[in-house]
């Protein structure tokens, strides 16, 4: 699981100033119209205070509203609500400077926290939503899309540790296609799901080794190909980051080998060569078949069958006089010839 720093919930309800309505109505009755239209200073019984323009018993124009708890808003009002440009400051040290729409943060703005966290970008109905930049006090940064206060869509995440990610996000987590560069130099290009490497991808090591294939829950699992820097290749099944199941090992200058693994432990190894005493031709391929029951040079009985091109394998093949009558196929992946990380990230 890729650990992502989070930010505190920024949603709060519409700024409700309707409590002023009754008080201001009384003022319009008791004061001359010329006085009411001018800038006023009003203090409510609950301790809230307003300094600013009042028009037709409604807060309209520029003003300063200070809540009894210490929160304050200074900026434009329309029909008793912050509307237009303004600055809202919370007593806990948070501050928002930007656009408001009918009492809610809406449009472009800057939201800061007392601990040094900062967001600069668009808002929708009090939510961080649209495109923006979030920077944490620990120097982590994110640039990209947001939806309902969470990273969503395309984005770039930079950690202060040197780790970086560019790609898709959903509900605040790495999701879809992306490229993750670890602080130790490893790089992963491929699919993510809920913050984990899941699906098809390529993992590169700084020493030149690489793995191309399937991932599940952040681990190499499923069919894949691992390339060692000395030219050795293993094509086959993986589970929980280890070779597990059937595969083909190929080394420069040597015959391919059939291998069976169990959780990283080698259980069986055979050289992949044509067995003239047990001939098998199937699906346009020549096969190696092992059995002591072969008849007249034809594959017969039960045993391991592997195509000589190393692409298909039948662990428990059943044959009658060179004819396949039973067995489950395992498709061994092809060798990936691409070594360009940038090409992999754009495919």
Least confident of 25-29, 147-151, 235-239: 25-29
- 60: three-class secondary structure by DSSP: strand
Alpha helices, H only, the chain: 20-30, 33-36, 341-346
Residue of 126, 134, 176 lying closest to 151 (CA atoms): 134
Q: What is the pLDDT of residue 314?
A: 96
Q: What is the pLDDT of residue 290?
A: 87
Residue 305 placed within a domain: yes
Residue 314 placed within a domain: yes
Residues 76-102: tens digit of each pLDDT = 999 999 999 999 999 999 999 999 999
Residues 202-245: tens digit of each pLDDT = 999 999 999 999 999 999 999 999 999 999 999 999 999 999 99
As a whole number of angstroms, the distance between CA 54 and CA 337 comes to 73
Range of the domain at 314: 273-335
Residue 316 placed within a domain: yes
Pair 290, 275: CB distance under 8 Å? yes
Domains of the chain: total:
1
Q: What is the pLDDT of residue 335?
A: 86
Residue 29 placed within a domain: no
Residue of 223, 225, 199, 222 lying closest to 211 (CA atoms): 225
Residue 324 placed within a domain: yes
Residue 132 backbone phi and psi in degrees, to 5: -170, -175
Residue 87 placed within a domain: no
Residue 88 placed within a domain: no
Residue 287 placed within a domain: yes
Q: What is the pLDDT of residue 342?
A: 62
| pLDDT for 62 beyond 90 | yes
């Amino acid at each position: 699981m890729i650990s992502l720093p989070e930010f505190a919930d920024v949603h709060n309800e519409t700024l409700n100033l309707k409590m002023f309505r009754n008080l201001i109505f009384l003022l319009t009755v008791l004061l001359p119209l010329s006085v009411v239209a001018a800038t006023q200073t009003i203090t409510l019984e609950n301790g809230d205070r307003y300094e600013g323009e009042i028009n037709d018993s409604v807060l309209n124009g520029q003003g300063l509203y200070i809540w009894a708890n210490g929160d304050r808003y200074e900026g434009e009002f329309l029909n008793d609500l912050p509307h237009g440009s303004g600055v809202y400051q919370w007593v806990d040290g948070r501050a928002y400077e930007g656009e408001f729409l009918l009492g809610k943060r809406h449009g472009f703005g800057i939201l800061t926290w007392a601990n040094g966290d900062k967001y600069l970008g668009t808002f929708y109905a009090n939510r961080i939503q649209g495109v923006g930049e979030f920077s944490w006090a620990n120097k982590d940064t994110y640039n990209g899309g947001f939806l309902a206060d969470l990273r969503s869509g395309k984005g770039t995440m930079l950690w202060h540790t040197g780790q970086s990610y560019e790609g898709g996000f959903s509900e605040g987590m790495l999701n879809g296609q992306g490229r993750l560069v670890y602080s130790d130099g490893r790089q992963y290009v491929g699919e993510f799901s809920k913050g984990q490497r899941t699906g098809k991808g390529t993992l590169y090591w700084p020493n030149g080794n690489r793995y191309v294939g399937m991932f599940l829950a952040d681990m190499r699992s499923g069919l894949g190909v691992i390339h060692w820097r000395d030219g050795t290749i293993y094509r086959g099944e993986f589970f929980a980051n280890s070779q597990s199941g059937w595969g083909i090992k190929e080394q420069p200058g040597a015959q391919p080998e059939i291998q069976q693994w169990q959780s990283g432990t080698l259980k069986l190894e055979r050289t992949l060569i044509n067995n003239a005493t047990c001939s098998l031709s199937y699906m346009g391929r020549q096969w190696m078949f092992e059995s002591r029951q072969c008849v007249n040079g034809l594959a017969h009985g039960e045993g391991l069958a592997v195509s000589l091109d190393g692409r298909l394998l039948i662990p428990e093949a059943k044959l009658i006089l060179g004819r396949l009558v039973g067995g489950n196929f395992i498709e061994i992946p092809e060798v990936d010839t691409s070594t360009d990380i940038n090409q992999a990230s754009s495919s």
